[in-house]
C-alpha cells in the first residue's frame, strides 16, 4: 500500500471523533511490530522517529528508509512522521527522504522566537506538501510543554496556530514524557477548550503515562493524535527480560527479539482499539511474530 499522508489519517480520525495512534520506532523490530499491531486491529497508524533515535543510529537515513519500506508494505494506511526535531537540517532530511509529516519542536525558545522559527519551517514543509506539528511550550529542557504542572493556554494556542500556520498542535494538559507509571491526570475540560480554540488536530505527548480509560476520554474531549513510546519500550524490554530469564543460554538475538516484537504488536493493537471509535478498515489478520 502506498505511504499515507499523516494529514489524511488525522483528519479522518477527527471527523469520526476517534483518536489516531502514533508510536515511536527505535529499531526495525519496533516498526515491524507497530505495523503488525495496526494490521491486527485493522486501523491506521503513524510511525514516528525522533531526533534522539536518529542520533542513536548515527543519522536519520538508515532507520528512516527501513521504516518507510515497512510502512509501504503494510495492509493498512501507515504514515511516517519525524518526532521532536529541534534541528532544521534534520527536518529537511526527513522531507527529502519521503516523510509525510514532521514535528518541529522550538518549544524551548521564547514565544516570539518559537513563532518565527516554526513559521519558517512550516513554509518550507508546505511547499513540499508535508504536514507540520509544533509544540507550544513555556519551560525549557527535555520535557518542553509536557513538564509536570505546565498547561497550554487556549488563547495563546489560537494565536500560535494563526501565526505559524501549523497543521497540528501538541498541547500540555497533564501528561509528561517518559512516565513509567500510568497515573497521569489529564485536564479534560482544558482539552475541550483547546479543541474549541484551534481548528487543527490536537496532539497528546507523554501518553504512556495515561491509563486506557483516560486516553479514551481525552479523544472524546477533542484530542486526535496520541503519541506513545515508553509504554511500548516497557513491553519490548519486559519480553526480552522474560525470555532471557527463562532461557539463560540463548545467544541468538532473534530468539528474544521475536517475543519482544510480538509484545509490542499486541500493545499497539490494544491501544489502537482504545483510541479508535471507528469500525476496523478490513478483516484483521493475525499478529505476525
Catalytic residue IDs: 83
3-state SS, one letter per residue, for the chain: CCCCCHHHHHHHHHHCCCCEEEEECCCHHHHHHHHHHHHHHCCCEEEEEEHHHHHHCCCHHHHHHHHHHHHHCCCCCEEEEEEEECCHHHHHHHHHHCCCEEEECCCCCCHHHHHHHHHHHHHHHHCCCCEEEEECCCCCCCCHHHCCCCCCCHHHHHHHHHHHCCCEEECCCCCCCCCCCCCCCCCHHHHHHHHHHCCCCEEECCHHHCCHHHHHHHHHHCEEEEEECHHHHHHHHHHHHHHHHHCCCCCCHHHHHHHHHHHHHHHHHHHHHHHCCCCCCCCCCCCCC
Hey, how many other C-beta atoms are within 10 angstroms of the C-beta on 4? 21
Q: Which grid cell sits at 222? A: 477533542
Instruction: Give the whole-angstrom CA distance, residue 265 versus residue 257.
Output: 12
Instruction: Give the whole-angstrom CA distance, residue 285 versus residue 36.
Output: 9
Beta bridge partners of 46: 22, 79
Amino acid at each position: 500500500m502506498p505511504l499515507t499522508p499523516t494529514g489524511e489519517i488525522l483528519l479522518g480520525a477527527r471527523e469520526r471523533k476517534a483518536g489516531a495512534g502514533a508510536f515511536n520506532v527505535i529499531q526495525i523490530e519496533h516498526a515491524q511490530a507497530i505495523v503488525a499491531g495496526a494490521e491486527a486491529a485493522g486501523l491506521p497508524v503513524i510511525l514516528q522517529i525522533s531526533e534522539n533515535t536518529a542520533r542513536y543510529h548515527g543519522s536519520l537515513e538508515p532507520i528512516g528508509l527501513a521504516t518507510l519500506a515497512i510502512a509501504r508494505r503494510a495492509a493498512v494506511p501507515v504514515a511516517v512522521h519525524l518526532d521532536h526535531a529541534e534541528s532544521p537540517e534534520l527536518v529537511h532530511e526527513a522531507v527529502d527522504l519521503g516523510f509525510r509529516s514532521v514535528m518541529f519542536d522550538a518549544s524551548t525558545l521564547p514565544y516570539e522566537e518559537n513563532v518565527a522559527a516554526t513559521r519558517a519551517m512550516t513554509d518550507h514543509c508546505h511547499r513540499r506538501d508535508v504536514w507540520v506539528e509544533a509544540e507550544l511550550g513555556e519551560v525549557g529542557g527535555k520535557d518542553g510543554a509536557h513538564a509536570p504542572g505546565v498547561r497550554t493556554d487556549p488563547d495563546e494556542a489560537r494565536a500560535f496556530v494563526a501565526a505559524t500556520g501549523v497543521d497540528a498542535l501538541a498541547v500540555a494538559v497533564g501528561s509528561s514524557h517518559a512516565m513509567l507509571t500510568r497515573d497521569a491526570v489529564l485536564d479534560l475540560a482544558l482539552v475541550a477548550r483547546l479543541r474549541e480554540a484551534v481548528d487543527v488536530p490536537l496532539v497528546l505527548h507523554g501518553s504512556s503515562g495515561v491509563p486506557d480509560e483516560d486516553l479514551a476520554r481525552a479523544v472524546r474531549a477533542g484530542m486526535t493524535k496520541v503519541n506513545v513510546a515508553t509504554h511500548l519500550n516497557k513491553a519490548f524490554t519486559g519480553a526480552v527480560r522474560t525470555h532471557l530469564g527463562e532461557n539463560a543460554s540463548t545467544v541468538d538475538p532473534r530468539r528474544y527479539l521475536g517475543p519482544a516484537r510480538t509484545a509490542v504488536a499486541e500493545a499497539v493493537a490494544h491501544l489502537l482499539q482504545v483510541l479508535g471509535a471507528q469500525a476496523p478498515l478490513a478483516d484483521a489478520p493475525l499478529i505476525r511474530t
